[in-house]
Chain A
Amino acid sequence: SQQGEEDPQALSIQEGENATMNCSYKTSINNLQWYRQNSGRGLVHLILIRSNEREKHSGRLRVTLDTSKKSSSLLITASRAADTASYFCATANSGGSNYKLTFGKGTLLTVNP
């Protein structure tokens, strides 16, 4: 069963704008990760946030985690056409292995030049 659910399912923006994607999950987690998938390719790890963290930054990426609401958001600032991809959140559930990830269905981001 899917643990994470991303919202929106699809997002289309202009280059230079910010993109925000949300992820909700159902059970307690150890960590939450975001991955990017370009069309026809494998997934690429973007950022990991642990359950005791509230916010992390990596370059143009900002991730927040609200464990009380069981939700996370991924913000991409100053988007570029090369950011066009699907973005997935993945959770490692509490009490389980940190390596057993449960993925959401993803948000398809299109950045128009």
Chain B
Amino acid sequence: NAGVTQTPKFQVLKTGQSMTLQCAQDMNHEYMSWYRQDPGMGLRLIHYSVGAGITDQGEVPNGYNVSRSTTEDFPLRLLSAAPSQTSVYFCASGRGQGSYEQYFGPGTRLTVT
């Protein structure tokens, strides 16, 4: 199994541009989520999904959209990038069904200029 994969690894955007960060998992996990990590901070939850077709907001959802049309994929869309969205983005998945540990991808480092 590849686990949780994220693309791209690095991205530079100009203010106002839009883009989609990709996340995929091949473990048939029910739960998927997106976090951002800023320097010296822990992770903050952006959006999460408990199954295909079901998404909900986390702690810092503004400026981001998600959808989950399949179990495997959970893309994160930045609608109009701002410098405040410069961060490292992590996708995670969890089996669900009473198992709460989460498996993290390697991250995408995004810089907005």
A41 within 8 A of B: yes
Instruction: Categorize the interface residue count of chain A.
Output: 20 to 34
> Chain B: which residue is nearest A3 at the CB level?
B42
On whether the beta carbons of A48 and B101 are closer than 8 Å, the reply is: yes
Instruction: Categorize the interface residue count of chain B.
Output: 20 to 34
Task: Tell me whether chain B's interface is mostly helix, strand or loop, or mixed.
Answer: strand
> Chain A: which residue is nearest B107 at the CB level?
A42
Residues of B within 8 A of A41 (CB): 106-107
On whether the beta carbons of B104 and A48 are closer than 8 Å, the reply is: no
Residues of A within 8 A of B94 (CB): 99
B96 within 8 A of A: yes
Q: CB-CB contacts of B17-53 with A at 8 A, as 1s and 0s?
A: 0000000000000010101000011111100101000
Which listed residue, A2, A40, A43, A98, touches B100 by the CB 8 Å rule? A98
A60 within 8 A of B: no
> Chain A: which residue is nearest B106 at the CB level?
A42
Q: CB-CB contacts of A21-58 with B at 8 A, as 1s and 0s?
A: 00000000001010100001111110010000000000
Which listed residue, A2, A44, A100, touches B42 by the CB 8 Å rule? A2
Q: CB-CB contacts of B95-109 with A at 8 A, as 1s and 0s?
A: 010001111111100
Residues of B within 8 A of A45 (CB): 101-103
Residues of B within 8 A of A103 (CB): 35, 42-44
On whether the beta carbons of B106 and A33 are closer than 8 Å, the reply is: no
Q: List 8 A-B contacts (CB under 8 A).
A: A45-B103, A88-B43, A97-B48, A97-B50, A101-B45, A102-B45, A105-B40, A106-B42
Instruction: List residues of B whose CB falls within 8 A of some A CB.
Output: 4, 31, 33, 35, 40-45, 48, 50, 58-59, 90, 92, 94, 96, 100-107
Counting from the closest, the 7 A-B pairs by CB-CB distance are A103-B42, A42-B104, A45-B101, A103-B43, A43-B104, A98-B100, A99-B31
